[in-house]
C-alpha cells in the first residue's frame, strides 16, 4: 500500500520506517528542511536503537523516501498519517493542535479518490471530529475517512513495540477504512496481534487513559518509596511482592526521581484539562501530576541531605541527563529540575550522558564531561539520574579513588546498598530505608 507520513519526529519516522519494512511504499514528509536534508544524507535526527539500520535498508530497497513537498505522495496515498507534534499549549495545559489542523488543511486540498486520514499523533477526544470537519469543509465532494490510530511506542524499544505490539487500536466505524487499516497491519497477523476496532473517540481516549494509568503507577511506587524510607522497608521488595499479583503486574513499579519524557507529562496534563472541560474531573491524575512535579524538584534535597545538608561550594557529579536510557530525549527529564535546584543550593555541577546532547542548550553553567569517570572526578558527591547500562557496571574502586568524597546518591537503585557500603561509599538510594 502507499503511505504518506506527515511528520518525521519520533513517531512519524519510526512508524514510517516500520511500515516500509512491512513492505509498504512510504513517503515521509516534513516542513523542516534541515531534518529532511539530514535524512536524505542518511543521517538519523533522533537516537533510537536500530533505527539507522532500518531506515538505511528500506531506503536502499526503494520503499522509504523523504521529501519537503508531499503533494504527490498525499495525492496518490491509500493512507495519510498525521504524526506531528502536539506539545502542551502555553498557559492552559491543553494540547496544541495547530500542527494537526494545518496538516488536515493540507491533506484536504490534495487527496484524490478514497483516502484514509489517520491521526497517529496523541490528540484529545474529539480531535478526529474536527479533522473531519476541516477536510469536509474544504472538499465537500472528497471521499475519505478519518481514523484514530494511537501509538504505544516506548522510546528505546520503539521498533520492537511497533513490530510486536501488545495490541493495535484503530478508531473508525467506516468499513472501507477498516479494510485499509487491516491491510496496513496485515504482517502482524502472523503474531496474532489483537487489532482492536473501536469508535474514534474511544480510540483517542484509550491513548490518554493508558499513559495516565502508567504515570499513576510510577507515582504510586514513588510514594511507597517515601513510606519505605520512613518505616525502614525496601521498596524493591514491596514492588516485587505486589507485582507478582497478575492483577497488578511488575512493570512500571521502579521507584525513582519521577517520570519525564515526551508523553507522560504532556498527556496527563492534557487529560486533566480535557476531563475538566467535560465536567468529569480525573482527580487521581490531577494528584499524580502534582506529586510528580514536586518529586522531581525534591530530589535535590535528597542530594543535599547526603552531604550533611550543605551543598554550598560543593562539586556534584551527575550521571545521566535524558529522561530514560536508550534515548536522546530531554523533554521534561528529571535532570532539568534537579540540576538547577542543586545549583541554587550553591553546588557546581559536572555531568555526563551518552546521548543527552540537547542538555547543552537546556542547562546553564554545567561542565559537560566526555565520560562517566571525568564526571565523578574531584566530586564531593555523585548522583545517578538516568540508569544507562554503562553506569550499572562502573569500576567502583576507580570511582572512589577519583572522587573527593565517596558519596553516591543513586536515584535509580542500580547498586546494592550492602555492596556500596562494604566498598566504603556513603550510599543513598530511593525507598530502601
Return d(Cα 271, Cα 330) in angstroms, integer.
22
Q: At what angle do helices 127-138 and 98-108 cross, to 10 degrees?
A: 30
So which residues are the catalytic ones?
Answer: 263
Sign, CA dihedral 342-344-347-353, equals positive
- Scan for cell 480531535, then name that residue: 127
Nearest to 412 by CA among 320, 338, 332: 320
Cell 565520560, residue?
371
Amino acid at each position: 500500500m502507499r503511505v504518506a507520513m506527515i511528520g518525521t519526529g519520533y513517531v512519524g519516522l519510526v512508524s514510517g520506517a516500520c511500515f516500509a519494512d512491512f513492505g509498504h511504499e512510504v513517503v515521509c514528509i516534513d516542513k523542516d528542511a534541515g531534518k529532511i536534508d539530514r535524512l536524505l544524507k542518511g543521517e538519523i535526527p533522533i537516537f533510537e536503537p536500530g533505527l539507522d539500520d532500518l531506515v538505511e535498508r528500506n531506503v536502499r530497497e526503494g520503499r522509504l523516501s523523504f521529501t519537503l513537498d508531499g503533494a504527490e505522495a498525499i495525492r496518490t496515498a491509500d493512507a495519510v498519517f498525521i504524526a506531528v507534534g502536539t506539545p502542551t499549549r502555553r498557559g492552559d495545559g491543553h494540547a496544541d493542535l495547530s500542527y494537526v489542523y494545518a496538516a488536515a488543511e493540507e491533506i484536504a486540498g490534495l487527496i484524490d479518490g478514497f483516502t484514509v486520514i489517520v491521526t497517529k499523533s496523541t490528540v484529545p477526544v474529539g480531535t478526529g471530529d474536527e479533522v473531519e470537519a476541516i477536510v469536509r469543509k474544504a472538499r465537500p465532494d472528497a471521499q475519505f475517512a478519518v481514523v484514530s490510530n494511537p501509538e504505544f511506542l516506548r522510546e528505546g524499544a520503539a521498533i520492537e513495540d511497533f513490530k510486536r505490539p501488545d495490541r493495535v487500536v484503530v478508531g473508525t466505524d467506516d468499513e472501507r477504512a477498516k479494510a485499509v487499516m487491516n491491510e496496513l497491519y496485515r504482517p502482524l497477523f502472523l503474531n496474532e496481534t489483537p487489532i482492536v476496532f473501536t469508535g474514534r473517540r474511544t480510540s483517542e481516549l484509550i491513548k490518554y487513559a493508558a499513559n495516565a494509568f502508567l504515570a499513576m503507577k510510577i507515582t504510586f511506587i514513588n510514594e511507597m518509596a517515601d513510606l519505605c524510607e520512613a518505616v525502614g522497608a525496601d521498596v524493591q521488595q514491596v514492588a516485587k511482592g505486589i507485582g507478582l499479583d497478575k492483577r497488578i503486574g511488575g512493570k512500571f513499579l521502579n521507584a525513582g526521581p519521577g517520570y519525564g519524557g515526551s508523553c507522560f507529562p504532556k498527556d496527563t496534563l492534557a487529560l486533566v484539562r480535557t476531563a475538566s472541560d467535560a465536567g468529569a474531573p480525573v482527580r487521581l491524575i490531577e494528584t499524580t501530576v502534582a506529586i510528580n512535579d514536586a518529586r522531581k524538584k525534591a530530589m535535590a534535597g535528597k542530594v543535599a541531605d547526603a552531604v550533611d545538608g550543605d551543598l554550598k561550594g560543593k562539586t556534584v557529579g551527575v550521571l545521566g541527563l535524558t529522561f530514560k536510557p536508550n534515548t536522546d530525549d530531554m523533554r521534561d527529564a528529571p535532570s532539568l529540575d534537579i540540576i538547577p535546584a542543586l545549583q541554587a543550593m550553591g553546588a557546581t555541577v559536572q555531568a555526563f550522558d551518552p546521548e543527552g546532547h540537547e542538555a547543552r542548550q537546556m542547562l546553564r553553567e554545567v561542565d559537560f564531561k566526555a565520560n562517566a569517570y571525568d564526571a565523578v572526578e574531584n566530586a564531593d558527591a555523585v548522583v545517578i539520574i538516568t540508569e544507562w547500562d554503562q553506569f550499572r557496571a562502573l569500576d567502583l574502586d576507580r570511582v572512589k579513588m577519583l572522587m573527593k568524597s565517596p558519596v553516591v546518591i543513586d536515584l535509580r537503585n542500580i547498586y546494592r546498598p550492602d555492596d556500596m557500603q562494604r566498598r566504603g561509599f556513603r550510599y543513598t538510594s530511593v525507598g530502601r530505608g
